[in-house]
Amino acid sequence: MEAKTVYFERPGRENTDEVLRIVGQRARELGIKTVVVASTGGDTAVQAVEALQGLRVIVVTHSHGFREQNAQSFTEENRQMVESKGGIIFTGTHLFAGVSRAIRNKFNTYVIGDLFASTLKVLGEGMKVVVEISVMAADAGLVRTDEEVIAIGGTGRGTDTAVVLTPANSQNFFDVKVHEILCKPHL
């Protein structure tokens, strides 16, 4: 089997349109029906549901109070737009953060979640994100652990990384299988 990987000159939102084009094309080629995409404020989520029509788009965003106490980063306007176009939004605690981040913040030390995240980041911030959101979606029952999906993440805002993978639940984390790297920044 031969597959193409696209490398972007720089990470970031400037790659979002091309990532979505690549994902739509590869999903059709492989017969993949589900795409999992990370989105903080919802702008990327709106772009994804518009660009990936005909696919099941699951948007994973972070928990309430993540950036600011008692506040949600994902705007209500974007939530309504995504849901009106059939997108599914999951709001949850980052797989590699949660209690680990509380321990790091309180005791100024790194714990296992930080080590997982930092290890995946050697392949780029987006690679950490795609693995994390696919496991979060599996834990929420939104994706199956015996079917390939395409996961989309990025560095900061927008997207710059997409992979074909088979998700796993968090207690079976090492069963995640990354099959293809569709695109990522050249680091």
CATH code for 6-185?
3.40.1380.20
Question: Could you state, in order of their start, the residue ranges of all structural domains in the chain?
Answer: 6-185
DSSP letters spanning 68-125: STT--SS-HHHHHHHHHTT-EEEEE--TTSTHHHHHHHHHS---HHHHHHHHHGGG-H
> 139 in helix, strand or coil?
helix
Name the nearest CA neighbour of 44 among 6, 80, 84, 74.
74
pLDDT values of the chain reduced to their tens digit, one per residue, 187 residues: 788 999 999 999 999 999 999 999 999 999 999 999 999 999 999 999 999 999 999 999 987 656 677 677 889 999 999 999 999 999 998 888 877 777 888 888 878 888 898 899 999 999 999 999 999 999 999 999 999 999 999 998 889 999 999 999 999 999 999 999 999 999 8
Euclidean distance between CA atoms 87 and 168, whole angstroms: 21
pLDDT value of position 65: 57
pTM of the model: 0.92
